[in-house]
Amino acid sequence: MKTKTVQQVLPPPAPHMVGDGFRVHNFFPGGYNMGQKRMSPFFLLDYNAKIDFSPRETPRGVGVHPHRGFETVTIAYQGAVAHHDSYGHSGVIRAGDVQWMTAASGVLHKEYHEAEYSKQGGLFQMVQLWVNLPAKDKMSTPKYQSITAGEMNHYDIPGNGGRVDVIAGEFNGVKGSAFTFTPIHLYNVRINKGTSLTINLPENYNTGMVVIEGGIKVNESADAPQDNFVLFKNDGDTFTITATEDSVVLVLSGEPIDEPIAAYGPFLMNTHEELEQAFSDFNRGVFGYLED
């Protein structure tokens, strides 16, 4: 085993609004100019750091918009988000839940604060990932996976040290619920103060972490405070995190997709011609219909 060393600990970039319901820090691809492939197969990470929304009768959110060529993965920590798409999928996610939408050949969808949460207001904290699809799967049938906190398999950290919720992939023999098109490991590590945990992930996988809550020390040397992103070098297969306070850490790691990328707005394809086709199909109503 060789240590996977920390390349950078990155503070959250300046936030921007997505619609009127999501105040996000975009760590990549734009926030730190990592390029489109540095965290492949993850193309985008928007982190909605903890924010207190005031009560409102009309839910905040993002209206109807299209996607093609990738998957959106939304992970809830505080608050509640509702989703509808043009394939008839819908759902609500709350703390600990995950919504995994495979846009693939194309869907329209909308995301907004769940009605009761909106009326009450309160803390809101989410992560959204865009996961690229390989060329052979970009035009597959859209699908939707709802993974609730109660359904999620987890690994208990010895010594009452916390637990690892396995969203996708595998951790110490515990398998995640999500179906993925390429090899991906995605965990919520809920680790108690003073506890150390060793994580083993393939050397060639692009790997990073978001400190959702608390603070950690990585490999007994690099400090990573709350709301920071830890980017690892591709130089080893094991690293250790130690909680300096009770913490929640989102770990993402995946086998890179070594294919060309053509990205524009809500479409993530391999060629410029495929982007043009996506816009044409959207304008012709191929993605279906969804009421705003």
pLDDT at 289: 93
Can you tell me the distance from the alpha carbon of 41 to that of 33, in angstroms, rounded to the nearest whole number?
A: 16
Give the three-class secondary structure for 82: strand
Task: Please state, for a pLDDT cut of 90, what percent of the chain lies above it.
Answer: 98
**Nearest Cα to Cα of residue 139 among 239, 271, 10:** 271
Amino acid 261: pLDDT:
98
Q: How far is CA 60 from CA 45, 48, 114, 194, in A?
A: 21, 14, 9, 39
Q: What percent of the chain has pLDDT over 70?
A: 100
What's the confidence (pLDDT) of residue 211? 98
Distance CA 192, CA 169 (A): 23
**Would you state the pLDDT for residue 33?**
85
Q: Which residue has the tokens 């916390």?
A: 162
Task: Fill in the amino acid letter for 141.
Answer: T
Is the peptide bond between 29 and the residue preceding it cis, with omega within 30 degrees of 0? yes
- Residue 78's pLDDT is 98
Q: Is the pLDDT of residue 96 over 90?
A: yes
Task: Please tell me the distance from the alpha carbon of residue 248 to that of residue 26, in angstroms, as a whole number.
Answer: 19
Residue 288, pLDDT score: 94
Segment 194-223 shows an average pLDDT of 98
Residue 204 — very low, low, confident or very high, per pLDDT cuts 50/70/90? Answer: very high
For 254: left if phi > 0, alpha if psi spans -120 to 50, otherwise beta; the answer is beta
Mean per-residue pLDDT of the chain: 97
**How far apart, in whole angstroms, are the C-alpha atoms of residue 118 and residue 113?**
6
Q: Which CATH number fits domain 6-254: 3.40.190.10, 2.60.120.10, 3.20.20.80, 3.30.450.370?
A: 2.60.120.10
pLDDT of residue 292: 85
Which of 95, 186, 66, 83 is closest to 144 using CA atoms?
83
Q: Which of 65, 72, 88, 74 is nearest to 278 (CA)?
A: 65
Q: How confident is the model at residue 11 (pLDDT cuts 50, 70, 90)?
A: very high
How much is the average pLDDT of 177-200? 98
